[in-house]
Amino acid sequence: MPKVTIDDVAELAGVSIKTVSRVVNQEPNVREATRAKVEAAIAKLNYQPNKAARNLASHHSHLIGLIYDDPAYYEIPSAGYVIRMQQGVLSACHASNYELLIHPCQYRKKDIGKEIKTLIEQVRPDGIVLAAPLSNMPRIVRAIEATGTPLVRLSPGAANGKQLSVVTNDREISAEMTRYLASLGHTKIAFITGHPSAKAVGNRYLGYRDGLEQSSLKFSERLVAAGDNSIGSGEECALQLLEGKDRPTAIFAANDDMAAGVIRVADRLGIKVPDELSVAGFDDIALARQVYPALTTINQPLSAMAEHAAVALIASIRNKRPLLGTEIVPATLQIRESTGPAPD
């Protein structure tokens, strides 16, 4: 590997290094003929600009940092989430010649703010994508803010102030799912809430209420059970909902794991899904396709959200314009086999 530098290219092309730099960086003010000469020299020498030198001189690293909560490896949903986020961000990065640095971290650590600050100050990524739930934690957001690095928050429950937040329409799409169930003739539609700490999950409940109202169905506390996002809690809630008299004909769970728990319990109780009970989830994790019957759910557009976030981030780095406001990437219903017409 011969180390080809900008000087070699300049010499071969018969121009100054500054001109080569202009061509490489696609700057204006280069005559077409000159540009062609330089490009030929670059191709011939197989010149690759040295990033470290570039970074040092330009104060840009061409690196985007993706910071997220370190998933326990054995948690499927987390793995899927993380991979999808990474893919979204990566596709934006590669389209713009940025590379991606990942930094999973444990927010429970005391000095997490400092850890992130050190990371940023040493590596100097040009921008940060911060994923939920970290994106909802003031001390983490503040730590990043303090470094002055452009920041986009991914899917925070509550969008606020000083950065761009990319969210999805949890509430509206949950209402849509509820209306869909109502349109199948269900009148007793139950809901299983998720872990109270997740704001986004709370919005799903509000959407359920909206959907009932929009379908002129009356709300009943009896039809709501409180889960904690785990399969096990889905099972418990299902038992509670299905064992009373006057049982629901449809159950909408705030996430897929709990919905899978419902299917499991229905199976155990001999209740046929979807003939006697429709079940819907939220997130469209891989498990949704693997349970039997395959789960009707809501596709959380994580990859699209992440890509959107990174695209906006990179654009803002280039314009030097600050990022503000909230952008919504809509989710969509994934109708599969676990929902069907209400029984007579």
Q: How far is the CB of 25 from DNA (least distance, A)?
A: 5
Which of a copy of itself, DNA, none has residue 138 at its interface (CB below 5 to 8 Å by kind)? none
Chain residues 27-56 in contact with DNA, contact rule CB under 7 A:
29-31, 33-35, 47, 49-50, 53-54, 56
Are 137 and 116 in contact by the 8 Å Cβ rule? The answer is no
Select 123 or 286, whichever has its Cβ closest to DNA: 123
The position carrying tokens 């793995």 is 79
Select 31 or 245, whichever has its Cβ closest to DNA: 31
317 binds DNA (CB under 7 A): no
The Cα–Cα gap between 34 and 40 comes to 10
Q: Is the peptide bond before 274 cis (omega within 30 degrees of 0)?
A: yes
Which of DNA, a copy of itself, none has residue 147 at its interface (CB below 5 to 8 Å by kind)? a copy of itself
In terms of phi and psi (left: phi > 0; alpha: psi -120 to 50; beta: otherwise), the region of 159 is beta
320 binds DNA (CB under 7 A): no
**Would you call 298 helix, strand, or coil by DSSP?**
strand
The Cα–Cα gap between 93 and 85 comes to 12
Which of a copy of itself, DNA, none has residue 133 at its interface (CB below 5 to 8 Å by kind)? none
Which of DNA, a copy of itself, none has residue 1 at its interface (CB below 5 to 8 Å by kind)? a copy of itself
Contact residues for a copy of itself (CB under 8 A)? Answer: 1, 48-53, 55-56, 61, 63, 70-71, 73-76, 78-80, 82-84, 86-87, 90, 99-104, 118-119, 121-124, 146-148, 231, 260, 264, 286-287, 289-290, 292, 303
Which of a copy of itself, DNA, none has residue 44 at its interface (CB below 5 to 8 Å by kind)? none
Q: How far is the CB of 249 from a copy of itself (least distance, A)?
A: 25
Which of DNA, a copy of itself, none has residue 209 at its interface (CB below 5 to 8 Å by kind)? none
281: DSSP letter: -
3-state secondary structure 138-150: HHHHHHHHHHCCC
For 232, how many CA atoms within 13 A lie in the half-sphere containing its CB? 0
25 binds DNA (CB under 7 A): yes
Q: How many CB atoms lie within 10 A of CB 322?
A: 11
The position carrying tokens 């050190």 is 118
Whole-angstrom Cα Rg for the chain: 26
Which of DNA, a copy of itself, none has residue 230 at its interface (CB below 5 to 8 Å by kind)? none
Chain residues 232-291 in contact with DNA, contact rule CB under 7 A:
none
Q: What are the DSSP calls for 66-131, one per residue? A: EEEEPPPTT-HHHHHHHHHHHHHHHHHHHHTT-EEEEEEE-TTSTTHHHHHHHHHHHH--SEEEEE
16 binds DNA (CB under 7 A): yes
- For residue 122 the two structure tokens come to 């040493």
214 binds DNA (CB under 7 A): no
57 binds DNA (CB under 7 A): yes
Contact residues: DNA, CB under 7 A: 3, 5-7, 15-19, 21-22, 24-25, 29-31, 33-35, 47, 49-50, 53-54, 56-59
